A and B are shown apart, each in its own frame.
Chain A
Amino acid sequence: MKLDPEARYTETHEWVRWDDNELVCGITDHAQESLSDIVYVELPEVGDEFNKGDVFGVVESVKAASDLYMPIGGRITAINEELEDAPELVNKDPYGSGWMIRFVPFDAAEFDGLMAPEAYEEFISEE
């Protein structure tokens, strides 16, 4: 299983990392592997605002459909439109071209409250 050392993680298997003044978010390598072939990703609209834990989208695979949860609250500034035609990017490159949303957090300090890579690794080994 791959991890992005710069990212922070949630118990619902999203990752989030800083890029300039915004946060980029997607699902983890572990999540994409568990879901198997992803066939559809439903994303929010730019400008939508969500609180921590709100559902911001849905990822659908041949096996399951799962909600996507905001790691911390924020306002959406961009979505990965490529996923509309190529949802398999989430399988191929979950931390890179398979990113899902960019957002400006309401409270940047909340980022530090998320799990570091090692903590997430431990979390999934116990799950």
Chain B
Amino acid sequence: MPYIPHSEADRAAMLEVVGVRSFEELFTDVPAHARFPALNLPPPLSEMEVRREVESFAAVNLTADRPCFLGAGAYRHFVPAVVDALISRGEFFTAYTPYQPEISQGTLQAIFEYQSMICALTGMEVSNASHYDGATATAEAVIAAVNVHRMKRRKVLLSPWVHPEYRAVVRTYTQGMGLELVEDVPAGELTGLLDQNTACVVVQYPDFLGHIEDLTPLARAAHARGALLIVATNPIALGMLKPPGAMEADIVVGEGQGMGIGLNFGGPYLGFFATRMEYVRRMSGRLVGQTVDAEGKRGFVLTLSTREQHIRREKATSNICTNQGLLALAAAIYMAALGRCGLRRVAELCYHKAHYAAGRVAELPGYTVLRDRPFFNEFVVRCPRQVAELNTYLLKEHGIIGGYDLGCDYPHLEGHMLLCVTEMNTRAEIELLVAALADF
């Protein structure tokens, strides 16, 4: 039963005030044929029938609970049961950032711990309370970097090996800001394009093709020109790799989905954003800080929020006043549950299994694994035929979800597949993939 508080008399009074005779008259500006279209709906169903019907729709979905070698920004990692058990508690079960410290100490402390662990993982000094996803975090980082230079520098160098979707979101977010986004440049030549008008350089680590490189020379070259280095990274890889902070990155962002969050059909995901204290006031989003209450006891509050979000909204450099609270909590629980050693173990499993798989695929005639540079858990394979064709075959004949078709984003990589291996891929799955590829 709908709850509509207005009586007929109330409605008549309101219609009189706006000067129309009937509710329908409010819609006279809508063309008559579109005004009250007849909806061709099936007859109503019982709850049981609705459930049956929706389940039949859901059954058509292809889930990742089968051998899966698709990554490219969304990764199938193991989610320990403790994550869902804790985030489902009533005290935590909200996606909203709590404003009132007097009733939200638990949530605020969880966010503070999330921020602290993100700092430890990335090698940075301060982290915000999270963003929507890796792509929006990257875009916020670009805007922050431009604001560090007070909009006096307008050039942004984006490595082509930053996730294509992240670059698309950067383009969307920065529309109308008058920035010059330079994307069409081989990664090795980024340094040559740095100039006095460059606000920042954005790279990915490991990059979209899975490659790992020492970013220190690029960071130094950027700093020599007064530009910032923004690194989009994979937090699982940081379980074993040198963190971007140790390579002198200025802003480190990334997709946190791999940390305790399922593939979720593409979202919701978790963006993280960390930087140096020097730039804390340019950082978008919420920030939880530790303080003491009137009795000197430790407590947690939202901090630095007066400036952009409550008072000077018209001057804000970012309109992000929220965070991905529940998923940041999931990531915090994941990081805390695994610990430093556990994260390292997950990273090493991904690394070693991927390298084993790459070695096996490289033995197959007709396939070439591009292994000239170090990689983490994704690698590029040149295939004998179209990747789409190969993927259809893998799925239909072997129930395997194949790799990412790089030709979709990089025309010169047509026929190249990006394969991803995580700790979830068993040796048997890898052998199944290798056998299936051999038979193609």
A83 to chain B, nearest CB (A): 13
B311 cross-chain contacts in A, Cβ below 8 A? 64-65
Chain B residues whose CB sits within 8 angstroms of the CB of A58 once the complex forms: 307, 312, 315
Task: Check if A62 is an interface residue, CB within 8 A of chain B.
Answer: yes
Q: State in angstroms the CA–CA spacing of A65 and B316 once bound together.
A: 11
Give A86 to B315 CA distance when docked, in angstroms. Answer: 24
Query: Is A121 close to B, CB under 8 A?
Result: no
9 contacts between A and B (CB under 8 A): A42-B281, A58-B312, A58-B315, A60-B306, A62-B306, A64-B306, A64-B311, A65-B311, A67-B315
Q: CB distance B281 to A40 under 8 Å?
A: yes
A27 CB → nearest B CB, Å: 16
Instruction: Let me know if A65 and B306 touch, CB within 8 A.
Output: yes
CA–CA, A64 and B281, complex, Å: 15
**A81 within 8 A of partner (CB):** no
For the complex, what is the distance from the CA of A77 to the CA of B123, rounded to whole Å? 37
Measured CA separation A63–B306 after assembly (Å): 8
Contact mask A23-65 → B, CB, 8 Å, 1/0?
Answer: 0000000000000000010100100000000000010101111
Min distance, Cβ A53 to any Cβ of chain B, angstroms: 16
Q: Which residues of A contact B312 (CB under 8 A)?
A: 58, 65
Taking the nearest CB of chain B, how far is it from the CB of A125, in angstroms?
26
Of all A-B residue pairs in the complex, the 7 with the closest CB atoms, nearest first, are A65-B312, A65-B311, A65-B307, A60-B307, A64-B311, A65-B306, A60-B306
- For the complex, count residues of A whose C-beta is within 8 A of B: 10
A45 x B150 contact (CB < 8 A): yes
Return A60 CB to nearest CB of chain B, in Å. Answer: 5
Query: How many angstroms from the CA of A62 to the CA of B150 in the assembled complex?
Result: 24
Q: Which residues of B contact A40 (CB under 8 A)?
A: 281, 307
Q: Which residue of A lies closest to B310 (CB)?
A: A65
A-B contact count (CB 8 A): 18
Nearest-Cβ distance from residue B18 to partner chain A, whole angstroms: 38
Contacts from B to A (Cβ < 8 Å): 150, 281, 306-307, 311-312, 315
- Can you add 8 more A-B contacts, CB < 8 Å, to A58-B312, A60-B306, A62-B306? A40-B281, A45-B150, A63-B306, A64-B306, A64-B311, A65-B307, A65-B312, A67-B315
Which residues on the A side are within 8 Å of B281 (C-beta)? 40, 42
Chain A residue nearest to B149 in the complex (CB): A45
Contacts of B307 in A (CB 8 A): 40, 58, 60, 65
Q: What residue of chain B has the Cβ atom nearest to residue A44's Cβ?
A: B150
Among B150, B281, B307, max chain A CB count under 10 A is at B307
Q: Tell me the bound Cα distance from A62 to B305 in angstroms.
A: 10
Q: A40 vs B281: C-alpha distance in the bound complex, in angstroms?
A: 10
B259 to chain A, nearest CB (A): 33
In the bound complex, how far is the Cα of B306 from the Cα of A87, in angstroms?
16
* A62 contacts across to B, CB distance below 8 A: 306
Residues of chain A within 8 A (CB-CB) of B150 are: 45
Which chain B residue has the least Cβ–Cβ distance from A55?
Answer: B315
Chain B residues with CB below 8 A from A60, complex form: 306-307
* Cα distance, A67 to B315, chains bound together (Å): 10
Closest chain-A Cβ to B277's Cβ sits at a distance in Å of 12
Query: Would you give the shortest CB distance from A98 to chain B, in whole angstroms?
Result: 20
The answer for the CA separation of A65 and B310 in the assembled complex, in Å, is 9
Q: List residues of chain A with CB within 8 A of the CB of B306.
A: 60, 62-65
Residue of A nearest to B150 (CB): A45
Closest to B308 in A: A65
A96 → B minimal CB distance (Å) = 26
Q: Which residues of B contact A63 (CB under 8 A)?
A: 306
How long is the Cα–Cα vector from A65 to B315 in the complex, in angstroms? 11
In the bound assembly, the distance between CA atoms of A124 and B311 in angstroms comes to: 23
Q: How far is the CB of A93 from the nearest CB of chain B, in Å?
A: 23
Complex CA distance for A102 and B315, rounded to whole angstroms: 25
What is the chain B residue whose CB lies nearest that of A39? B306
- Give the residue name and chain of the A residue nearest to B152 (CB): A45
A63–B311 Cα distance when bound, in Å, is: 9
The CA-CA distance from A65 to B311 in the complex, in Å, is 6
CA distance in complex: A67, B281 (Å): 16
Quote the shortest CB–CB distance from A64 to chain B (angstroms): 6
Which residues of chain B are near A65, meaning CB under 8 Å?
A: 306-307, 311-312
Q: Determine the distance from Cα of A60 to Cα of B303 in the docked complex, in whole angstroms.
A: 13
Chain A: minimal CB distance from B231 (Å): 26
In the complex, A62 Cα to B304 Cα: how many Å?
9
**A67 CA to B311 CA in the complex, in Å?**
11
For A60, the closest partner residue in chain B by CB is B307
User: Which residues in B have their C-beta under 8 angstroms from that of A67?
Assistant: 315
* Shortest distance from the beta carbon of A30 to any chain B beta carbon, whole Å: 20
A54 to chain B, nearest CB (A): 13
Question: Which residue of chain B lies nearest to A62 when distances are taken between CB atoms in the complex?
Answer: B306
Closest CB of chain A to B72's CB: distance in Å? Answer: 40
A59 to B37, CA, bound (A): 56
The residues of A that contact B315 with a CB separation of less than 8 Å are: 58, 67
How far apart sit A4 and B359, CA to CA, in the bound complex (Å)?
Answer: 78
- B202 CB to nearest chain A CB (Å): 24
Q: How close is B355's CB to chain A, nearest CB, in angstroms? A: 48
Question: How many angstroms between the C-alpha atoms of A25 and B314 in the bound complex?
Answer: 25
- Give bound CA distance, A64 to B311, whole Å: 6
